[in-house]
Chain A
């Protein structure tokens, strides 16, 4: 911990906040580049961001991969989360199957400090995990 700062949180981040942080100069961008916390996500999230950058933003694949590699985010592979996949699917799959990977990650990683998302689907997990809104993380 750097003196004068609060200790960093280990936060699991979804596509909405990570891509917003990348593509829009707003609050998500401030949190993402604050270097105040450690962010972790899944390869599914990064695949979504890669698809957007190459199909909607006209970045070449190598430009997009370079950008993603430089993001201050740790990316986990499917192998890490596969054992908790079914449980995650039961928890959130009916609301939105695309959220299953991040919930499986939340079930896999012990001692994380919660999920950062602006997606209301994650509200069903309140009580089980802390779900951070962007403003809350900025204030911390």
Chain B
């Protein structure tokens, strides 16, 4: 009996050590990704400094850094918050609603871009109000009540 208990405790101890190892590994992954992100940030800075900035290159690096951030988010949620260890149905009730963000981001950034285009052209401007109002006003003589 006593032997069995110590054995179970021993197994638990092993599991516990493996878990701690996993947590520190996640920390190092996050740290490395952050350093890479920092490197990309400084690369963008240097591209901007050059006399002829390569805008497509900047856009590519920004896309890359976004993907790396999503990877970080995955590691934090899955390992630190232990969502990866929950059962599938529960994970889905959290993750599926967040899919709304895909449309949310696309629609709003699209709208912002369209706003910029309207700002820079006269495509969105209304006809001059003064011109409309110069049309002869209807005669007011009959009533004279106002």
Chain A complexes with chain B: no
Listed in ascending order, the chain B residues whose CB lies under 8 Å from chain A are: none
